Each structure stands twice: as structure tokens, then as C-alpha cells.
Structure 1
Amino acid sequence: MTKSDFPALRMTIDGGRLVPAGPFDAERLNSYRRGTVVYVRFTEEKDRVLVRKWFAIIDIVLKQCQTPWKNRDQAHEAIKLALGIVNLSKTVGGDYMQYPKSITALEDPELQEALEQMTELLSRMTGVDVATLKKETAHIVEYEDHGPTTGEIIEHESGAASPDADEPPSSSSAGAAESPSSAAPTNTDTTETPVADLVSVETSGDGDAPTPSPGARDPETQRLIDFAKDVLPLAANTETTGSLLSAIEKEWAPEIKKMSADGQEKAKAISRSMRAIFNRQASLNGALDFFSDALGCSVEELGG
């Protein structure tokens, strides 16, 4: 076997240099004489595991839970706006505008944090606990195995691998990404749909989830609603200063410290949206719509 018969080398771009992605690639590279000139054709790998997990969670929630979105694209864009994952630019007239950023542009630590934030928010919105959502996508993993002819990473998922296992899950209109429970033949037994079983909000006959009255909510959720009402509309006011928002956050800090871990994560998400709105990187309406769903309240209760 000649060197040209080996799989393609996998390299990582690091500070303008190409670095071997693994020991297999390093050994291959060291087999060439120092100073040898080689020709390189760049081919990026398919979507990362975190990207596929992101879309898989969205698809599972859309398929099995009651949400305000009609399809994956709507959910994807709304979540990015709510989390402040946006690009900021100016129009010809000099006005600021923002639009959702591609999650593929995020570094792994940023995308991991965004994935956790999204999972937490969807958990609060649907009533499905975070552990269940993570379990439903635990089969999406990546091992450092190389294809015999292409040299690309082979994606491993539990059970039989599908031909497009390394592609992002298909949109919900064409069928959401199947979880391990939904991969089995259709069964009316509710044990086949663990995510649906854990949805805590029953929908009414017309498919709309009822909004709990303030008296029926748990105190922590009501405090989160009050916090969002205090900071989100204020952040959209052009006369508001950053020092004022910081002062309000400090006033709320003792209350937030008393909350559960879930409540504190929700408060952090509200604060991030507040900063994104203040910096004109996100819209107030988008944030209010998202948190009204996540907290189970009306937009008006959030100051909209």
C-alpha cells in the first residue's frame, strides 16, 4: 500500500497552522520527509455532535410536546434570539439591526453552553426534565474511528446506524429525529413515548396549553416572572443605562440566590436576554414571547 492509498489526513486549524487531529494523523504526517511540499484540498467534516444534538432536542420537543412553534426552523430561530445568539449590523440609514447567528459559527465551549441553556429553557416550557431530554440524545456520540476509504470520522449511534447518521435531524415537517423510544414500531402503549409521559401541562381540546393564574403558580416561577418584568422592558428603553440595569440585578441577587438550581439558571437566561436587548442584539418582543412560554405566563405579565 502506497501513501496515496491511505485515508485522508484529518487536521485541525490552530492559529494559522494545521495540527494533526489525532495520533493516527500525527504518525502519518511524521512518515513524510521534513520539507516535503504537499498539496492540500480543504474539506470540512460534517456537522459536529453538538450541532446534531441541538437539532435532535428541538425535533423531539416539537414532535412530542406542545410548543408555540409550527416547525423546527421557527423554534431554532426563536431560541437563538431568546439566548442572544445573534449578529449585529447597521442598515443603510444607520439603524442597528440583529439577526440570528449560525450555531456552526460557535466554538465548542460556546455551543455546549448554548445547548445546556436551550435544554433548560425547553424543560421549563414543556415540563420535561433536563435529564430526560439529554437521555433522548445520548446516543449521538463520536468516536475517533476512521473510514477505510475517506479517512472521515465514523459516527456511532446506539443500534443500527442509519445512512445519514452524520446529517442534522430532518425538519419536523418531514418527520422529527427519532428518539430511541420512537424508533420502535408505532405502539399505543405510553411507555413507548417517555418524553410525552413527562409533559406536565395538559392541553385543552383546541390544542392550546392553558396559562396558569398567578395564584396557581409556584412562588419561584412568579418571582422569575417579576424579575423578567423588571429588567426586559427596561433594557429596551433607549434612555436606560447599563449602570441602572446592573443596580436592579444586584437588588434581585439575594432573591435569586434563594431559588433552586433550575430557577437560578432561568434567572441567568433572563439576564443574558436583558443584556442582548440592551446592546440591540435581540428584540424585546422575541424575548417576551419566549419567556412567556417558558414561564407559563402571558406577554402582558412580563410588561409587554
Structure 2
Amino acid sequence: MVGWANAARPVRTVSDFTTVNNNVIGFHRGDRAWIGINDSGTATTATFTTGLADGGYCDVIAGSATAAGCTGGTVTVSGGRATVTVPANGAVALHVGARPGTSPSPTASPTASPTTSPTDRVATTFTVNATPTAGQDVYVVGSVPELGAWTPANGVRLTAQGGGVYRATVDLPRSTSVEYKFVKVTTAGAATWESGANRTLTTPATGTYAVTETFRGDTVSTAVATSFAVTATTVYGQNVFVVGNVAALGGWNPAGAVALSPATYPVWRATVDLPPNTAVEYKYVKKNPDGSVTWESGANRSFTTPAGGTRTATDTWR
């Protein structure tokens, strides 16, 4: 758990606090770390929003990450979510520094001091505006091992934030010159590099670092950035989503609904890229701690997106 705390340290905010029942909770700290805790005598399985990039993570409560995999349990994150069995009177903890095959190289002897410590690292946040096609993910790849040493398959996958924004935080060596680029990678491994020269940064000696860029070579998107804002009160553990008739809103399937942020509670917000000149129907739903869904009442809400630009929907839960 020391490693978990060090990984989570750059992010002070607790997000997506989930109450499965009176004894089981889960939450994450940004895109750095997630934990689930069970204070009961029965193991509980539930699906949690982890905030982590997709892929495998080692449960650091049960074991550690090694070059061969995880000595304890492995949890797979997909779409930022993971179905986890939290053991009775126990916990499951994941973080960005404990992934299968990411253990440090062995030192010369078992008692040798490690060459780096958490204070030798700078939490560096990469944010890029990009328009990947279906089946593509966005990665940052660069000259240091932490960014895959120019190998896209070993780069860092950025998590979609909505509105064409992708982001990830990586621990990089401090006071180090780094070259990097953003890359779109398909599930088959085909890589599309952004155009232009390598980007460069130099990490500071202390603190954190952040870069915000636009993927070079992207064509201008005709999607309409549509902001949804709904005033809705919730009980502990509930979250609000928007779902509708277009694919970007889940195609009326609550499992594919778009999560709204409670940062300005009781107003819940999100921005979604919708197709232009399209008739859109939608409703708001509340997802309850037990996994059930509560739909707002009344007829479907509707509007037609313009040919381009932006649109805002401001509503009150019915």
C-alpha cells in the first residue's frame, strides 16, 4: 500500500465513490489508483469505475507486479471500469505503477538500494485533443522506457475525457529531457503517428508537470460538441447519466450511457461529440448502488444538432 499511496499522491481528489452495500465501497484517485474495501464476512463482486487506463493491473494487496505477471490477483480494466471480487474482510488495490510485466530490473544483490524512489519521479500529465476513428486508441510514446522507448505497443494509453480530449498521467524521471509523440493505435497494433517533429519536454526537479496539445495531422471534425447539464439531486452512491437514440449516447442502452460529472452538484454535466444535422432523443437516468437504473419520467427529450459548432442542453430531472 505504500506504492499505492505514492502512485495516488499527485491526485488529492476522491472520485466515483461507490457504495455496493453497507460494508463494501470503492473509489479512485484520478487516473492513478483505485481501491475496493469489504468490511464483511462475505466476498462481494461488483463493477466499479476505476479511472484507470484499460488493461491489466496487479492487486497489490494480494501480491506484486513482476516481469512475468502478478504474484497475486490480476484485474482487467475495460472502458475505465472493472468487475472485481473484493474478498471478505479484505480489499483489492490497483495503481498505475503495478501492472503485469512492469517490475523494475533486479539489483545486483538482494540488499542493494533501489536506483529510484517515488521522489525521483515527476507526475507528468499528457492531454491531447484528437479524433481517432472507430477501433483506435490514443497513446503517448517517447524516448524513455516509461513512454515505451518509441514502441507504440509499450506506450501509455490515454483515457477519453469526452469532447475529443484524451489524458493520462505518467511518472517520469525528474530533471530529464524527454522526446515524445502522440500515436493512434488499432486493436491489431497498427500505429498512426502524428505528423511533424518529435515533441520535447524537460521534467522539473520537483513538483508535477503537464502538457496540453492537439494531435497534429487530424482533419477538422464536423462533430457537434454538445454540453448536457441537468439539475438532479441524488442519494449517496447514485450517479447521473444521459442516454439516447444515437450511438454516442448509448443507443438507449443504459450500459452505454454517458456519465455526467457531479463537480458542480446538484448540476451534473458532460460534453459529448454528436453527429451534425441529426435528430437526437435522450433522457437522464440514475444508476443506483445496487446496479439498478432509475429513468426520469415524461416523454423523451429531443433536439436537432446544427451543421457544426456546439450545442447546450440545460435541463431539470423529471
TM-score normalised per structure 2? 0.27
Q: Which structure shows the higher strand fraction?
A: 2
Q: Which structure shows the higher helix fraction?
A: 1
**Which of structures 1 and 2 has the larger relative contact order (alpha carbons within 8 angstroms, sep 6+)?**
1
Structure exhibiting the larger radius of gyration computed from Cα positions: 1
TM-score normalised per structure 1? 0.28
